[in-house]
Amino acid sequence: MSDDARSLVIRLLAEARLSPIEISEALGGRVSSRSIYRWAKGESSPQNTSDYEALKALVADLGWADTELPKKPRKKPSAPEGTTAAVEEKKEA
């Protein structure tokens, strides 16, 4: 259960782009955002089976199978204004 919960949380954080606070809220506040951090780091796992089931239900509610979370494309961050990289970006555009 702990590895499964960890992988679900990591994928929700990385691929679904949810924050620990958003995951906590989506779980109805049954666990704190700090607990979500701990699950992601592997420091702990859901203490109650019902918390793990709620995590799986969240994934299901989002319309994804446990193994099929969508990958959102990450936007390339813009270079800070005034840097050489920013000047290069303007030349390319």
pLDDT in tens, 10-39: 888 888 889 999 999 999 999 999 999 999
Contacts of 6 (CB under 8 A, 6+ apart): 39, 40, 42, 45
The string of DSSP codes covering 33-88 is: HHHHHHHHHTS---SSHHHHHHHHHHHHHTT--TT-PPPPPPPPPPPPTTSHHHHH
- The CATH number assigned to the domain holding 17 equals 1.10.260
* Residue 42 domain boundaries: 1-93
Name the band, by pLDDT with cuts 50, 70 and 90, for residue 70: very low
Give the number of domains in the chain.
1
pTM score, whole prediction: 0.65
